[in-house]
Amino acid sequence: MGDFVNLPASSADAPRRVPGHLAIILDGNGRWATKRGKPRSFGHIAGARTLIRALGWFAERGIQHVTVYAFSTENWKRPAREVASLMRLFSTLLRHNLDILVKNKIRLRISGRRGDLPPKIQKAVAEAERITAGFDRQLIVCVSYGGRAEIIDAVNAAVARGEKVTEESFQNLLYVPDVPDPDLVIRTGGEKRTSNFLLWESAYAEYCFIDALWPDFSERDLDDALSDYASRNRRKGGIA
Ligand code: IPE
Ligand code: IPE
Ligand code: MG
């Protein structure tokens, strides 16, 4: 099946199905910090470190596309201090961690209403996307992303062209139209909801809900989710 790739031969396990596209709702940073008596921004920094570590785990397992939900259209309503600390963090990551993407041959793409972002960050995003554009493996970071906003933006683009849509032409109006649908969506932090993530794209995704708060997400948690995924029977409306 086209949407699966095999684990590299170096893996200890026998080859098994891994998702071609893994999407993660990075939740629990705030609670992680609060539990330690620290400001929520401390949790976001810890969460960023976990993501950087996890990029290597994803690559080792042969996962081709990874999408992470970093900031939703609804997250703008958080206290201005928290929003500002998150924007500073994105800016720092974009300026100082590009080498990690280049070293791991990862193409960075931002999905969301990028016009909502401060102009300086928009510029840094465009630069990072340009520098990493030649790589095949992709990291899609959803920032100022909402599944409803994405659908509305696509509908409005179709209306502006005076077009009726089909599933295929609608797909082409999404933020990252050429990326295949996610096979597996993991949400950390214990909540069992989508919170407006990839509403269109995850129509036939498998879900794993993990209690670990995102900064504590481990290689073991990833492998547990991948084993669970490998055991699922994805019928997609057909029969086994
Ligand atoms: C997820 O962690 C990251 C963002 C939404 C920016 P949270 O900040 O939602 O952490 P909790 O869920 O409050 O613990
Ligand atoms: C979802 O987490 C959004 C991101 C992880 C970026 P939230 O913490 O914002 O979602 P709710 O409020 O628990 O639904
Ligand atoms: Mg949360």
Q: Is 69 in the pocket of ligand 2 (CB under 6 A)?
A: yes
Q: Is 183 in the pocket of ligand 2 (CB under 6 A)?
A: no
Number of other CB atoms surrounding residue 161 within 10 Å: 11
Closest Cα to atom 13 of ligand 1:
30
Atom of ligand 1 nearest to the CA of 86: 6
Q: Is 25 in the pocket of ligand 2 (CB under 6 A)?
A: yes
Closest among 195, 209, 207, 213 to 73, alpha carbons compared: 195
Residues with beta carbon inside 6 Å of ligand 1? 26-31, 71, 75, 86, 189
Q: How far does residue 27's CA lie from ligand 2's centre (Å)?
A: 6
Selecting among 13, 29, 75, 224, the annotated active-site residue is 75
Ordered domains of the chain (ranges, CATH): 21-230 (3.40.1180.10)
Q: How far does residue 11's CA lie from ligand 2's centre (Å)?
A: 33
What pLDDT score was predicted for residue 8?
Answer: 47
Under-50 pLDDT residues of the chain: 1-14
What pLDDT score was predicted for residue 16?
Answer: 72
Pocket test for ligand 2, best of 195, 197, 202, 217 (most atoms within 8 A of CB): 195
27 burial level (CB within 10 Å; 0-12, 13-18, 19+): buried
What pLDDT score was predicted for residue 12?
Answer: 47
First-to-last alpha carbon distance for the chain, in angstroms, is 14
What pLDDT score was predicted for residue 1?
Answer: 39
Whether residue 75 lies in the annotated active site:
yes
Q: How far does residue 108's CA lie from ligand 2's centre (Å)?
A: 22
For residues 28 and 209, what is the distance between their CA atoms, to the nearest angstrom?
A: 12
What pLDDT score was predicted for residue 15?
Answer: 54
Q: What is the identity of the amino acid at 67?
A: T
Which residues make Cβ contacts (< 8 Å) with residue 66, sequence separation at least 6? 21, 22, 23, 24, 55, 58, 138, 139, 140
DSSP secondary structure code for residue 115 in this structure? G
Closest Cα to atom 5 of ligand 1:
71
For residues 16 and 100, what is the distance between their CA atoms, to the nearest angstrom?
A: 28
Whether residue 27 lies in the annotated active site:
yes
Closest ligand to residue 71's CA? 2
Please say whether the dihedral angle defined by the alpha carbons of residues 170, 174, 179 and 184, taken in this order, is positive or negative: negative
